Structure 1
Amino acid sequence: MNETIKSIQNHRSIRKFTDKQLEESVIDQIIKSAQSMPNSINGQQTSIIVVRDKERKAKLAELAGGQPWIDAAPVFLVFVMDFYKTNLAAQKNHLNQLIHESVEGTIVGTFDGGLAMGGALIAAESMGLGVVPIGGIRQNPAEVIELLKLPEYTYPLAGLAIGYPKDHSQKKPRLPFETFKHEETYNKEGLMEAIDEYDHTMEQYHNEIGREQGVNWSGYTANIYQHVYYPKVYPTMKDQNFQNDK
């Protein structure tokens, strides 16, 4: 196993950071790694906003539902689905862009943003930094869009808090490997048994780290997925001209 694989498989979310600031060259290497990730048709429909301003980070922490590690991290990256750039390309060629109105466009832009974050995450951890992805910036997206001055055809997908870790959290267990790796076709055999096993594993994990006893994966996930937990996403996507009607 090489050092890159070791670093990836050793991932854990870090929510406590030291006061040490990141050098500009370090930030640029992280973002260049994100930019180097693959993307659909080389459309490059992702942009990253680097947030270091204390007041802006504090506001983002508030808008994300009160996540103080956004404010505590020296750098917060916001990954943006960006069809504004591609629309300029369409205008240059006297054509009308349609992709942003479709579900396919939303899938493309979101997936590419995820690939970019994966590259940034791996790059940051390879340099000894700690990270935690933040989906909570979609909790109050209209305010985030205004705060970051995002133009039409763009949308904030997720954030990444980055800094030097104050401590290393315990690695969170994953579902059994056979639930993730499927040979040739999707295998439903034994899934419920694997979930039962994982629920037991997660109960032990939460007991070890001092969280509420009895919390398992299936109950926690099912309770959250009863609802659309960020209901403002759909209307604000339409406001940004992502109609999702094609």
Structure 2
Amino acid sequence: MKTIEETLLNRTSVRRYEYDKIPSETLDFIYRAIANTPTSYNGQQFSVIAIDDQSIKEELYAITNQKQIKTCATLLVFCADYHKIDILAQKKGIDNPHFENTLDGVMVGIIDAALAMQNAVVAAQAAGLGSCCVGYARTANPEKIAEILKLPEGTCRLCTHIGHTQRITRLKAQTTAIISHTPQSLPYRRHGSRARTIRPNHIRI
């Protein structure tokens, strides 16, 4: 297992993989890291689908044209999951407040799923594997992807793939380009950019 420093500072996105399967004990470690994700209100508004069925990966590749989806050992689909609230409310015989219809609710689900995905990425890196988060899976024919994965209403997805690394490329920003200590020293201010500050009335829901 790699050290924390090696895991966090040497991580990079990997899009080329060997064809070796991931040992079950390594997958179990990654799954336990996912289960231990910190979530808002401890609500755990996410679910994960682990896909190693090559035919399903091929179908998703045909939609996204992301070759790494079909060549990785395991594809993990992280879903912001509000459907579980419906199920729980029905079992308890209580009304569902439909948390997902609020801006905070949407943010909670997406952030919970993203944090879980990051836990998986860190765990995979620590175990000597490579990974890459795939944003295009959110927008590439979402109805068809939902059909393939049999997703119920009340879910939306992010995904990442993991596997044994074949080739690594590195191109990351220096910390001075992204870290600031006061609002007056934001990177775009230091470099003379005229980028405007985003205020709530600039956000469309």
Q: Which residue of 1 aligns with 2:176?
A: 177
Q: Cα distance, 1:95 vs. partner? A: 2.2
Q: Distance in 2 between matches of 1:86 and 1:189?
A: 40
Structure 1 residues 91 and 177 mapped into 2: Cα distance closer, same or farther (>3 Å)?
farther
Q: Which residue of 1 aligns with 2:78?
A: 79
CA contact (8 A) 1:179 1:194 kept: no
1:166 is paired with a residue of what secondary structure? strand
Matched, 1:23 2:23: yes
Instruction: Encode CA deviations 1:1-59: one digit per residue, 9 max, x unaligned.
Output: x9213311111111110111012222121121011010011111111101111111011
Q: Which residue of 2 aligns with 1:149?
A: 150
Structure 1 residues 187 and 40 mapped into 2: Cα distance closer, same or farther (>3 Å)?
same
Counterpart mapping for 1:32-43 below 5 A:
32-43=32-43
TM-score of the pair, normalised by structure 2:
0.85
Instruction: Encode CA deviations 1:151-171: one digit per residue, 9 max, x unaligned.
Output: 111111x111110001222x2
Q: Cα distance, 1:195 vs. partner? A: 7.8
2:184 is paired with a residue of what secondary structure? coil
Q: Which residue of 2 aligns with 1:109?
A: 109
Larger proportion of strand: 2
Q: Distance in 1 between matches of 2:48 and 2:70?
A: 18
Q: Cα distance, 1:181 vs. partner? A: 3.2
Unaligned runs of 5+ in 1: 197-217, 219-243
Q: Which residue of 2 aligns with 1:206?
A: none
Matched, 1:122 2:122: yes
Q: Using CA pairs below 8 Å that are at least 6 residues apart, which structure has the higher relative contact order?
A: 2
Q: Distance in 2 between matches of 1:73 and 1:151?
A: 25
Q: Which residue of 2 aligns with 1:14?
A: 14
Q: Distance in 2 between matches of 1:110 and 1:13?
A: 21
139-148 vs 89-98, which deviates more? 89-98
Q: Distance in 1 between matches of 2:131 and 2:184?
A: 33
Q: Supply the RMSD in Å over aligned alpha carbons.
A: 2.2
Q: Distance in 2 between matches of 1:103 and 1:189?
A: 27
Aligned partner of 1:187 among 180, 184, 189: 184
Q: Distance in 2 between matches of 1:17 and 1:30?
A: 18
Instruction: Encode CA deviations 1:188-213: one digit per residue, 9 max, x unaligned.
Output: 556255488xxxxxxxxxxxxxxxxx
CA contact (8 A) 2:179 2:187 kept: no
